[in-house]
A = this chain, B = another copy of it.
Amino acid sequence: MPNRLTMPIGEAMFSQRAIRRLKPDPIKEEDIRLMIEAAQKAPNGGNNQPGRFFVMNDPAIISEFGKLYHEAWWAKRKDEGFNSAEDFPKEHKTHFYAMKLADEIKDAPLIILACAIKAGVDNSVFPPVQNLLLAARALGIGSTLTTLHATVMERVHKLTGIPEDVKIYCCIPMGYPRGNFGPTKRLPSREITFFNQWGTAPPWS
């Protein structure tokens, strides 16, 4: 099963960027399976495996879900004090890209909701999610890790049939990229790393 994930791990990690502009081409079911089975291999507390994957690849449900995602995305922006695109700081381009995704997600070929059978198990959900995203990258499939908003959750549960006691942790639209994978900008590691005492820079700084 793992043998199609042949990309060197460094290449996958160092070229994993948020891909928000997606082609409509469908993702093969065998690729969805491989991504999920890679995800399952990540650590989880006590091997209790609380994680569940809710896959949407039916255009009808994606179209309905897309409306809720759009509403959720703007609800998050309003929480931040932004009422329209004119309010976004011009230098922070991510808002504009993410706004576009909120418009276009209704046409994504694949959306996966990472869920768990209980709340408070983020440390058993997000390592698998990262495996899912890296496996996608290795297969040439783009993805973005996004969240929803309380204002739409009841309707998301109703639309998907996800029981109320199953928590939805994040929403991952996926598809072949329009545009390219590539490097991301991060702080120098010396600024976020401490050795043996807080405030002590690493030896490579």
The answer, yes or no, to whether A150 is at the interface (CB within 8 Å) is: no
The answer, yes or no, to whether A153 is at the interface (CB within 8 Å) is: no
Chain B hits for A185, CB < 8 A:
47
Residue of B nearest to A194 (CB): B54
Contact of A61 among B7, B49, B54, B196 (CB under 8 A): B196
Are A10 and B14 interface neighbours, CB within 8 A?
Answer: no
Contact of A126 among B55, B126, B202 (CB under 8 A): B126
Known: A9-B138, A130-B130, A160-B198. 13 other contacts (CB 8 A): A1-B14, A2-B11, A13-B134, A14-B41, A29-B204, A30-B204, A43-B130, A47-B94, A125-B126, A126-B129, A127-B127, A134-B134, A161-B198
Q: Hey, which bits of chain A sit against chain B, CB under 8 A?
A: 1-14, 16, 18, 29-30, 32-33, 36-38, 40-43, 45-47, 49, 51-58, 61, 94, 122-123, 125-127, 129-131, 133-135, 138, 144-145, 147, 160-163, 166, 169-170, 184-187, 189, 192-199, 202-204
